[in-house]
């Protein structure tokens, strides 16, 4: 698969005549890479790449070839190269006589001969390697918002995250953002670099460090080691909270309007289950939530559903909660969608190197029992694939709010320097052929806020340089029902979701999802037909 690429790059780097690239796109199919391919390519690379510097050269050139032949965004390769070489110039304080439209062979020759020139400036190959890897990172950030380069340390972090293994305190958290600021962001897009908000604990391992220290779901973290986090980005906050196993972190916590308190927690290695499964006893409905699509997500979800079915044979349906699920591995999402379908298309992919349709195989784990998928504006990527395809196949009703709108697929490529390029290679369309890129999945039942207004929305389309929707298919889903709260309710999953006032996590969305099963309103919500264009809908005040 990569032999043609390596031969071309080696020819370029060594100044030899390069063979023509193969015309068959399958020769460069990033989705079909196997460990055997990687091992074979790396063995071949070891013959060619004698030094760490040369491995960086080959990686740089390989990224340019991927940009030209596989990247969905079709970035201007000449512009990428100019950017990369100018980065190297700045880092080393050298003039490389960079020009536009440099042929690959000339770039290779320039980089191969760079050590001789750099030596005149007092730079060794270690400096050069660092500069080229920095250039690789820089140019990879200018394909599209979701293409990214990971170095060897970052690869390990990503693998740990997708395997749910992290060193931390055993919580999953999100910013507790003021709705007014979120609304301003949804209107102004990238003008708001960091949304203000402290951290709310969404999930907590009871036997994890934070659970043992007495923290609870719904607690608000305002300071980490004395540092206020209101105006810090989520990534900055994660960096503050996480650290080496055995080290301590001090948190300032607010709970239910009480006086804030401090707690010191010792970090440890923890494994977070991706799936939570419970019975909503008052309604005899199964509830399963999925935090993201990491390794084993489909198996964990199947196990959770089968356990609930065996313990409660008379369940009248299930809620699949994908709120705040940002996505993950495509193959896990496909397995999960297939889990609920007897037949029909799951998704269509369309890209420069891959155009396929994936269809369901017989076997519905619920045997046709009603299914509701719960979404919000933070449900993205693989979450949208599942909700959209189950909706298109008339297998589930989607309840909640318009999803984020990330309708692209990324595929990973191991580079000769040991790094990893995660590159956007295709659009995906749901079963109907509709692309959700920048638009999202439209819910059958929309959940409005306590004030009768739609919650503010964030979207892929808000991101600078996002890949436009390819215009395939038409979103035929129309919201037919609007659900809204009539009293201020809170969900208490410690008591099997009996809708008791507990904690600080408003969950009328779940109550609306339950309403969707048989059309009756719960004591806490009301539903109305969605108004037609030009019509008004009356929302009574909350009691």
Strand-pair partners of 198:
176
Strand-pair partners of 249:
265
- Burial of 396-409, coded b for 16+ CB within 10 Å and e otherwise, reads bbbbbbbbbbbbbb
Nearest-5° Cα angle at 100, 99 to 105: 80
Instruction: Considering the candidates 338, 392, 434, 462, report the single residue annotated as catalytic.
Output: 392
Q: Distance of CA 489 to CAs 179, 378, 453, 494, Å?
A: 18, 22, 17, 15
Residues with Cβ within 8 Å of residue 353, at least 6 apart in sequence: 25, 26, 28, 29, 30, 31, 69, 70, 425, 426
Query: Is residue 381 among the annotated active site residues?
Result: yes
Whole-angstrom Cα distance, residue 356 to residue 407? 15
Whole-angstrom Cα distance, residue 44 to residue 42? 5
Whole-angstrom Cα distance, residue 304 to residue 492? 20
Q: Record the tokens describing residue 394, joined without a space.
A: 């008339």
Query: Is residue 364 among the annotated active site residues?
Result: no
Instruction: Considering the candidates 406, 411, 459, 515, report the single residue annotated as catalytic.
Output: 406
Whole-angstrom Cα distance, residue 132 to residue 119? 16
Q: In sequence order, what DSSP letters do the residues of 367-416 get, joined into one string?
A: TT--EEEEE-TT--THHHHHHHHHHHTTS-EEEES------EEEEEEE-T
Nearest-5° Cα angle at 158, 6 to 226: 140
What is the number of other CB atoms lying within 10 angstroms of the CB of residue 248?
11
Q: Record the tokens describing residue 158, joined without a space.
A: 């990503």
Tell me if 106 sits within 8 A of 78, measured CB to CB.
no
What burial class does residue 195 get, using C-beta atoms within 10 Å of its C-beta: 0-12 exposed, 13-18 middle, 19+ buried?
Answer: middle
Q: Distance of CA 525 to CAs 265, 289, 450, Å?
A: 39, 21, 10
Give the closest residue to 241 by CA, choosing from 270, 218, 261: 270
Query: Is residue 291 among the annotated active site residues?
Result: no
List the catalytic residues: 381, 392, 406
């Amino acid at each position: 698969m990569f032999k043609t690429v390596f031969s071309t790059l080696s020819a370029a780097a060594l100044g030899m005549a390069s063979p023509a690239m193969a015309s068959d796109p399958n020769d460069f199919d990033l989705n079909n890479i196997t460990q055997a391919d990687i091992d074979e390519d790396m063995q071949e690379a070891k013959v060619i790449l004698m030094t760490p510097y040369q491995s960086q050269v080959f990686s740089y050139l390989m990224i340019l070839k991927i940009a030209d032949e596989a990247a969905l965004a079709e970035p201007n390769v000449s512009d990428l190269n100019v950017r990369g070489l100018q980065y190297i110039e700045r880092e080393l304080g050298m003039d490389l006589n960079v020009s536009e439209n440099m042929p690959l062979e000339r770039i290779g020759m320039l980089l191969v001969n760079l050590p001789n020139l750099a030596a005149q400036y007092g730079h060794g190959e270690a400096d050069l390697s660092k500069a080229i890897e920095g250039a690789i990172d820089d140019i990879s950030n200018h394909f599209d918002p979701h293409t990214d380069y990971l170095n060897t340390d970052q690869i390990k972090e990503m693998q740990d995250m997708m395997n749910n293994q992290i060193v931390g305190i055993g919580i999953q958290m999100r910013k507790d953002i003021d709705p007014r600021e979120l609304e301003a962001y949804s209107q102004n897009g990238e003008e708001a670099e960091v949304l203000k908000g402290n951290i709310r604990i969404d999930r907590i391992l009871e036997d994890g460090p934070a659970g043992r220290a007495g923290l609870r779901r719904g607690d608000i973290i305002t300071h980490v080691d004395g540092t206020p986090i209101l105006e810090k980005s989520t990534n900055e906050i994660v960096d503050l909270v996480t650290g080496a196993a055995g080290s301590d972190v001090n948190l300032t916590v607010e709970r239910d309007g009480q006086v804030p308190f401090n707690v010191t927690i010792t970090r440890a290695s923890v494994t977070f289950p991706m799936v939570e499964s419970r019975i909503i006893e008052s309604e005899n409905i199964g509830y399963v939530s999925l935090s993201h699509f990491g390794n084993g997500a489909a198996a964990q979800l199947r196990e959770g559903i089968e356990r609930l079915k065996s313990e409660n044979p008379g369940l009248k349906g299930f809620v699949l909660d994908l709120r705040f699920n940002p996505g993950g591995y495509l193959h896990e999402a496909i397995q999960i969608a297939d889990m609920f379908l007897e037949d029909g298309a799951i998704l269509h992919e369309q890209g420069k190197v891959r155009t396929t349709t994936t269809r369901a195989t017989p076997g519905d784990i619920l045997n046709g029992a009603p299914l509701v998928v719960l979404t919000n504006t933070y449900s993205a990527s693989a979450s949208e694939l599942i909700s959209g395809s189950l909706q298109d196949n008339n297998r589930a009703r989607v309840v909640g709010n318009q999803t984020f709108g990330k309708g692209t697929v990324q595929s990973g490529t191991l580079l000769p320097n040991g790094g990893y390029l995660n590159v956007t290679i295709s659009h995906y369309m749901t079963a109907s052929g509709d692309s959700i890129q920048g638009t999202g999945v439209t819910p059958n039942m929309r959940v409005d806020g306590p004030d009768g207004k739609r919650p503010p929305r964030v979207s892929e389309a808000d991101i600078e340089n996002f890949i436009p929707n390819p215009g395939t298919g038409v979103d035929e889903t129309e919201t037919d029902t609007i659900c809204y709260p009539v009293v201020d309710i809170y969900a208490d999953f410690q008591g099997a979701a009996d809708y008791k006032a507990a904690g600080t996590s408003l969950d009328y969305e779940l109550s609306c999802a339950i309403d969707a099963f048989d059309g009756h309103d719960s004591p806490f919500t009301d539903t109305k037909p969605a108004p037609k264009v030009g019509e008004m809908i009356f929302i009574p005040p909350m009691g």
